[in-house]
Amino acid sequence: MAVNAADYTPQELMVVAAAREIRDGEVVFVGMRLPLLAFALAKRTHAPSAIGLFENGLVRDQLPPPGLYTMGDPPNVTGASWATGLVEVMALLQRGDVDLGFIGGAEVDRFGNINTNLIGPPERPTVRLPGSGGGADIACLSKRLVSLMEHAPRRLRERVDFVTSPGYGDGPDWRRRQGLVRGGPSAVITTLGVLRFDDITSEAYLASYHPFTTAEEVAAATGWPLSIPACCAPTPPPTADELRLIREADPDGFWTR
Amino acid sequence: MAVNAADYTPQELMVVAAAREIRDGEVVFVGMRLPLLAFALAKRTHAPSAIGLFENGLVRDQLPPPGLYTMGDPPNVTGASWATGLVEVMALLQRGDVDLGFIGGAEVDRFGNINTNLIGPPERPTVRLPGSGGGADIACLSKRLVSLMEHAPRRLRERVDFVTSPGYGDGPDWRRRQGLVRGGPSAVITTLGVLRFDDITSEAYLASYHPFTTAEEVAAATGWPLSIPACCAPTPPPTADELRLIREADPDGFWTR
Amino acid sequence: MSKLVPLPDAITRFVPDGASVALGTSLESVIPFAAGHEMVRQNRRDLELVGPISDILFDQLIGAGCVRRVVAAWVGNVSAGLGHNYRRAAEQGVPRAIDVEEHSNLSIGLGLLAGALGVPYLPTRTLLGSDLVSRNPRLEPLEPGLLRVGAIEPDVTILHVQRADDAGHAHAWGNLGVTKEAGLAAESVILTSEEIVPTDVILSDPNRVPLPPHRVRAVCHVPGGAHPSPVQGHYGRDHVAYAAYHRATRDQAGFDAWLREGVLDVPDRAGYLDKVGERWPALRPLVRCPAAPVDYA
Amino acid sequence: MSKLVPLPDAITRFVPDGASVALGTSLESVIPFAAGHEMVRQNRRDLELVGPISDILFDQLIGAGCVRRVVAAWVGNVSAGLGHNYRRAAEQGVPRAIDVEEHSNLSIGLGLLAGALGVPYLPTRTLLGSDLVSRNPRLEPLEPGLLRVGAIEPDVTILHVQRADDAGHAHAWGNLGVTKEAGLAAESVILTSEEIVPTDVILSDPNRVPLPPHRVRAVCHVPGGAHPSPVQGHYGRDHVAYAAYHRATRDQAGFDAWLREGVLDVPDRAGYLDKVGERWPALRPLVRCPAAPVDYA
């Protein structure tokens, strides 16, 4: 049973949308924050056999415990399937074992390139961001990439100041020319909608807008003229069950409130 | 107290000579058979802090237990300092942590090159030997190399049929030209004597002959005109204490009888 | 979905004729002899065997005519030195000629590590000046002072472990050799295990797990599956068996008789251990050496 | 010869001004905060910090003016995102300008692995097309589809572990990040440990040992030495401390006050934990999660 837009936060809807990107049995590079909640939700609903990879050196096929703040919290190790090193886990990524990777970012552009390093001119940045972490690796090496981000014009830009995590570069064939052997963005899930990428042009389009907004509002909050195809529709809202499961996983609402 | 030549075997004397190559506190790539006994003897006498590396993935700073047949016998793992993988242990070798490495061989030549791969023409060998194992790595990458071998003309040859484990190649400067960053043979301990290498010519000379033979007999059993310097003397025999310790470590005489 | 299957089924499914198979990844211990013997019974042909030091398992498979090619650093009998079947095959082409890709232990370890990392090669400082380089196409000069070792990617890696569950989670302890690299580099992994235990036992200690469970395709319950090689905490090495094998296999007829009695006429591992007789229970450790407790809370 | 020394002595001896120091090798857990704070108290200068994700320890050392250069994939506060001191230093040169060598987690892991393996570089398929490549001299195109990551060799790696003996044997469990690579790549290793135990405890489980003991130069007994980051089996993460740090350090004056109270005016780790107050005992786990027994006989 779907619920009203007033009954959930944008972050909760993002978790639901992210969970739906995970197919049962897939190997998922999880990362932290909303993707971790999405992974837990997917495992408790349609993808019980999904496997989660964490760059600190963990693989989990059991449900992550509730209330995690970081992937290194002891309860995430307890009951893991493999506790090892970063290179061993990222070797799985480089080998091509990872079906889906999640990352966040400060900026994304119309070809899905993501910046998490700096804002402003690279030689004299106005804002120094924390950096790639594992994001650039996940963007280069997983088969499908989903990013999550706040939707605002300064975040969805025509061109990012710095490509930390490559999307489709400047368009079709760019990844192949760089030597990337697979992958590319599959979706960008924002606080306002879900963007996907055109098979021919590699450019982002609005696949759905969240129920509490409109396609026009989403376009207005985007830093380039966002393509809105005829099939663009509201994002399916969370079910009551999904919301309950998210709130069990994030009991303090640390990431979703 | 030294003992009479009749009271020990050539293999026991080889163990004693090999043990004397180990200095206290050194990191030693041990391998199997006589070197393992030499390592145990050195630790119980003059080199209690020596550290032993085994290519199956073990590091030991405790005394090896008696009666080992292989480095993978469970008692060699029990009480090890580090149980890990082959690459991790050999990484220590490649990095330059290893002071002394021991290897065996089927043939050695006057520049200390060792063959453990094949006898006869490489394209149509008459004898197929087991191969390098870790020998070639130890010969390339440890700071000093000591090999142990039966002394016979067919084993100490002018030129080996196949260089598995590089010594000094064809003479001075050869190792540097190959790109080897360190190392080279320090001694060849045989059933008849101890060969060392001239600092200038890199050629083997007879440093000592075992008490039960003579320098002339050793030269006659060598496949090239062996250089015998004036300082060549009998190999110091085992002490009664050393013999007792060897026999405690190899109670069945599997390797030393 | 359980991955627990009888060993014959796992070999049938994941080790076809012509497969590249990594075996003996811990060097002298936990060698998956039971799995190798099952390959002989199924008359597998044209295998490529990959491993640093197989002790006598490679020699047996070579003598049984299962092998087309060996990628190894050492092939023989650790107790006795030479392996008679390896010599017959390499010197005389009996029972068939084999191709040998000769490595050192480090080069084979790095080749498997390259496969595990998903890169075409790794650089190394070893083997410079060794004649191994000119005879092994996987080793090539890279720049002064460095060789490249090409990636080695077996079709299947077979590991013998102390305990596993039916989902592919496992615990292995002791010297690990190239176990992790070979397990990660291979397309599939088969585990043979001394014990099958509940999943909770394995998940209680995730640092003891050698490989990500999703890469394991089959788990087989094979107590004694590594005999005559040792398994830490379970049994010691059967030195007598190695010496007896060396004596019995000096000629092809001797090997054929050994193979018939020890492998072909034996239905399964339990039958094999019956033939080992009184030596088998005598290999059990007499003392316990428990690891210090660890808490994952 | 015991390697057990007080933490101040280990820092004085093995972390000189200008040293390259790897810290935070397990990412968000077992971060050696106590060792970092001791560097601040000893007014260490011109350090190069190496680590994938240091959480707030790098931010603190940068704010205290100890740092000349950072080699990292991420610098910030895992709970809150940005690190204020890192921003001030990188954007405004306050309290001093720092040089940043920016990596991804995999590139820093491979750089340390190259150092551990004793080779000048390793090839990788990551970061192709990323702007990180043009700004980081340690990353260079190698051939189509491959980059080279140059070796990273810290002068010293500081690890916090659950237990160690006085000879440098140690046990570590949980997620290990780049702990092994950084420990093997460094010239020296300093261990800070929750517990000092007899050698027999460590030797009872050699697979639990992260590093060969001969590479460990100093062992320091520092219970609580990783707070506010967690230590598996000992204490959880103090989320409140991370949030409080983020709020308190928005401007330089706020950071200076935080540093004075939390580091400079604190004599040692026991004094620090006193200041953490009631939150400290509350971080202890309420249940036990024992690893299944293992026998090494």
Instruction: Return the CATH number at B186.
Output: 3.40.1080.10
The one catalytic residue in A12, A26, A55, A242 is: A55
pLDDT recorded at residue B1 = 54
The one catalytic residue in B12, B55, B203, B242 is: B55
* Mean pLDDT in residue range C98-116: 97
Nearest-Cα distance to chain D for B68, in Å, is: 14
pTM above 0.90, yes or no: yes
Enumerate the residues of chain D whose CB falls inside 8 A of the CB of residue B81: 169, 203, 206, 209, 212-213
Does some domain include residue A255?
no
**From C120, which residue of chain D is nearest by alpha-carbon distance?**
D123
* Mean pLDDT in residue range A116-127: 90
Inter-chain CB pairs, B–D, below 8 Å: 58
Nearest-Cα distance to chain A for C200, in Å, is: 8
Q: Are A140 and A166 a contacting pair, CB within 8 Å? A: yes
Q: Are B181 and B203 a contacting pair, CB within 8 Å? A: no
Residue from C117, C207, C232, C235 whose CB has the most chain D CBs within 10 Å, to mutate: C207
In this predicted model, what pLDDT tens digit does every residue of A211-250 receive, in sequence order? 999 999 999 999 999 999 999 999 999 999 999 999 999 9
pLDDT class for A167, splitting at 50, 70, 90?
A: very high
Q: Does C78 touch chain B (CB under 8 A)?
A: yes
The Cα–Cα gap between A205 and A227 comes to 5
* Mean pLDDT in residue range A63-80: 93
Q: Does D140 touch chain C (CB under 8 A)?
A: no
Q: Does C144 touch chain D (CB under 8 A)?
A: no
The Cα–Cα gap between A138 and A99 comes to 10
- Does D206 sit within 8 Å of B79, measured CB to CB? yes
Q: Which 3 state secondary structure label does DSSP give C138?
A: coil
Enumerate the residues of chain A whose CB falls inside 8 A of the CB of residue D241: none
pLDDT above 70 covers what percent of chain C?
100
Check contact D-A (3+ Cβ pairs < 8 Å): yes
Name the residue ranges covered by the structural domains of chain C.
Answer: 7-204+244-282
CB-CB neighbours of A108 under 10 Å: 27
pLDDT class for A125, splitting at 50, 70, 90?
A: confident
Inter-chain CB pairs, B–C, below 8 Å: 189
- Does B86 sit within 8 Å of C75, measured CB to CB? no
The Cα–Cα gap between D257 and D263 comes to 10
pLDDT recorded at residue C59 = 98
Q: Are C64 and C42 a contacting pair, CB within 8 Å? A: no
- Does C119 sit within 8 Å of D121, measured CB to CB? no
The Cα–Cα gap between C263 and C261 comes to 6
The angle subtended at Cα C220 by Cα C5 and Cα C4, nearest 5°, is 40
Please tell me which of the candidates D1, D184, D209 has its beta carbon nearest to residue B91: D184
Q: Does C196 touch chain B (CB under 8 A)?
A: no
Strands B82-83 and B58-60: antiparallel
pLDDT class for A2, splitting at 50, 70, 90?
A: low
pLDDT recorded at residue B2 = 62
In this predicted model, what pLDDT tens digit does every residue of B193-228 receive, in sequence order? 999 999 999 999 999 999 999 999 999 999 999 999
Inter-chain CB pairs, A–D, below 8 Å: 187
* Mean pLDDT in residue range C278-297: 97
Please tell me which of the candidates D1, D209, D212 has its beta carbon nearest to residue B92: D212
- Does D287 sit within 8 Å of C296, measured CB to CB? no
* A6/D273: higher pLDDT: D273
Collect the ranges in chain B with pLDDT lower than 50: none
Does some domain include residue B256?
no
Q: Does C237 touch chain B (CB under 8 A)?
A: yes
Check contact A-B (3+ Cβ pairs < 8 Å): no
Residue from B70, B84, B170 whose CB has the most chain C CBs within 10 Å, to mutate: B70
Strand partners, B190: B149
C257: phi then psi, degrees, rounded to nearest 5: -65, -45
Nearest-Cα distance to chain D for B50, in Å, is: 10
Q: Is B88 a catalytic residue?
A: no
ipTM of the complex: 0.97
Does some domain include residue A50?
yes
Q: Are D203 and D163 a contacting pair, CB within 8 Å? A: no
* Block residue for tokens 């000579």: B17
Q: Does C264 touch chain A (CB under 8 A)?
A: no
Q: Are A111 and A168 a contacting pair, CB within 8 Å? A: yes
Q: Is the pLDDT reported for residue D5 higher than 80?
A: yes
Strands B107-109 and B100-104: unpaired
pLDDT recorded at residue B254 = 84
Q: Is the pLDDT reported for residue A1 higher than 60?
A: no
Q: Does D16 touch chain C (CB under 8 A)?
A: no
Q: Does D81 touch chain A (CB under 8 A)?
A: yes
Structural domain that includes position B138 = 5-249
Q: Does B140 touch chain C (CB under 8 A)?
A: yes
The Cα–Cα gap between D69 and D77 comes to 18
Q: Are C95 and C252 a contacting pair, CB within 8 Å? A: yes
Q: Which 3 state secondary structure label does DSSP give A105?
A: coil
pLDDT recorded at residue A199 = 96
Nearest-Cα distance to chain A for C11, in Å, is: 24
**From C294, which residue of chain A is nearest by alpha-carbon distance?**
A78
Number of domains chain B contains: 1
Enumerate the residues of chain C whose CB falls inside 8 A of the CB of residue B130: 74-76, 81-83, 86
Q: Are C158 and C23 a contacting pair, CB within 8 Å? A: yes
* Mean pLDDT in residue range D204-224: 97
Q: Length of chain C in residues, anyone?
A: 297
Does some domain include residue A257?
no
Residue among A31, C278, B94, C56 at smallest CA distance from D151: B94
The answer regarding whether domain C7-204+244-282 maps to CATH 3.40.1080.10 reads yes
